[in-house]
Amino acid sequence: MVRGNDVAGRRAAPGADRSDLTGRPGGTGLTPARGSGLTWLRASGRRRAAETRPAQAHARRLAIAAVIGLLLAAPGGGWAPVVASETDPGGTPAIRSARRTPGPTTAGAMGRAMGTLLRGEPGVYGVAVVTPGGESLYTRNADVPFVAASLYKLFVMATVYEQEAAGSLTLDEVIAVSGTGALTISEAVRASIVYSDNAAALALFGRVGGTLSVNGLAQTLDLDQTWIAVDPLAVPGWQRLPAADSTAVTTARADDFVLTAGSGGLVDVTTPRDVATFFSLLLQGRVVSERASAEMVAVLKQQAVDDRFPVLLPAGAEVAHKTGNLTQVVHDAGIIYTPAGPVVLAALAEAMPDEARAAEVIQRLAAIAYDPFAAFDALGAEGEPSSRLGDLPRSAAPRRSRRVRPGAPRPRRRIGPAPDRR
């Protein structure tokens, strides 16, 4: 089975992995498709008018942070769950009511902004945004199957910590990693997550017992649609009806894409909801233990592949995340730490005709998750892009992927099935 590393915009031969460390960060100058919601979030758009009025801009940002803080402090947390239909991403009752009220809910603002962004975009996008407690803020194709790509390494990491807690292994145990040599399990975990090193991940996968152990961990966490190294047709309940946030056409297209990806062997499958649930459980300290969860989050905060979520966030914004890439597959998922507190975002994309464009769409999804009210304010009265829709806050310069430290394990290209994953 082929594994993919994570750099958007870099083409590789079918079945080839990507190098996480040689790809460009998400760039600017994206050419919007006609009628696409991406027009209003273009990276090369106008500078904000507030830049000429620093005092007013600063006051506005403080006010938005205060509003979000009040929502979070209100009874019930102020979070209003919403499901946005793919056929009418701004048309659910919760979102429609936001158009008539002076203060939209977090979910209402986020749903309208994300729905507008994704409207008309090619391929299949799956999005799940949840609070630290696991409450849904926005979903789109959340239960549609996606090729997991390097997101499978999240579940391998969790299985390592599960077995460490059970006494089956120790983090300072030394294992052999192809092309690198001997690494401790702790070093291999870091290499597989921070640099998305395939060889390190495969060595860990073998050490913990392979498919049976990793899939068992997923089931323990109630991630019922996550299956590693399987034949999709053997997955229970594979054929299912589209949910409220998807369509029959999209569900069928996603099914076909996953089946095609697994036609030459086995494939890793997950859903946006499962991935978002995993990160929510990490925040709650419920993946293995509080200590293990905290250590995994600490590793994820060191992510070196920073060409998606962090690019449009303010300088210094903290993110704990993991990317995933294969041919026509572009993912990012994790925890975004906002002024109002952490929020979990899983943004998965497959059947993508333009991987670089998909990466830039994901950048904008992260910016909306960070500040949904700024995006809401940029919408016109009827939820359509207005002349101010280029005003979504962004940092002065994109954060670039960090360099690999000398002597650190580097990603390797692996062509063809990995025999030790059968």
Mind listing the pLDDT tens digit for each residue in 41-65? 433 333 333 344 444 444 545 444 4
Q: Is the pLDDT of residue 207 over 90?
A: yes
In a domain, 279, yes or no: yes
Residue with more model confidence, 101 or 171: 171
Q: Which tokens belong to 410?
A: 């580097």
In a domain, 133, yes or no: yes
Overall average pLDDT of the 108-131 stretch: 94
Q: pLDDT class for 240, splitting at 50, 70, 90?
A: low
In a domain, 31, yes or no: no
pLDDT of residue 67: 36
In a domain, 47, yes or no: yes
pLDDT of residue 139: 97
**How many domains, the chain?**
1
Distance CA 119, CA 91 (A): 12
Q: Which tokens belong to 414?
A: 């692996």
Q: Is the pLDDT of residue 406 over 50?
A: no
Name the burial class of residue 199, with classes exposed (0-12), middle (13-18) and buried (19+) by CB atoms within 10 angstroms of its CB: buried
- Say if strands 124-130 and 341-350 run parallel, antiparallel, or are unpaired: antiparallel
Q: Is the pLDDT of residue 165 over 90?
A: yes
- Say if strands 318-326 and 267-270 run parallel, antiparallel, or are unpaired: unpaired
Q: pLDDT class for 78, splitting at 50, 70, 90?
A: very low
Q: Is the pLDDT of residue 113 over 80?
A: yes
pLDDT of residue 375: 81
Helices vs. strands in the chain: H and E counts, helices first: 12, 10
Q: Which tokens belong to 395?
A: 């940092």
Distance CA 41, CA 233 (A): 39
pLDDT of residue 283: 97
Overall average pLDDT of the 302-317 stretch: 95
Q: Phi/psi zone of residue 86: left (φ > 0), alpha (ψ -120 to 50 degrees), beta?
A: alpha
Predicted confidence (pLDDT) per residue in 243-286, tens digit: 889 999 999 999 999 999 988 789 999 999 999 999 999 999 99
Task: Supply the mean pLDDT for the chain.
Answer: 75
pLDDT of residue 402: 42
Q: Is the pLDDT of residue 323 over 80?
A: yes
Q: Which tokens belong to 31?
A: 């050419």
Q: How far is CA 3 from CA 97, 108, 313, 421, in A?
A: 44, 37, 29, 10
Overall average pLDDT of the 194-202 stretch: 97
pLDDT of residue 388: 38
Q: Is the pLDDT of residue 358 over 50?
A: yes
pLDDT of residue 32: 38
CATH number of the domain enclosing 162: 3.40.710.10
In a domain, 348, yes or no: yes
In degrees rounded to 5, what are phi and psi of residue 98?
A: -65, -25
Query: What is the identity of the amino acid at 103?
Result: G
In a domain, 236, yes or no: yes
Q: pLDDT class for 232, splitting at 50, 70, 90?
A: confident
Q: Is the pLDDT of residue 387 over 70?
A: no
In a domain, 416, yes or no: no
Q: pLDDT class for 36, splitting at 50, 70, 90?
A: very low
Q: Is the pLDDT of residue 178 over 70?
A: yes
pLDDT of residue 368: 95
CB 310 within 8 A of CB 369: no
Q: In which domain, by residue range, is 53 found? A: 37-402
Residue with more model confidence, 51 or 343: 343
Q: pLDDT class for 412, splitting at 50, 70, 90?
A: very low
Residue entry with tokens 């409207």: 119
In a domain, 395, yes or no: yes
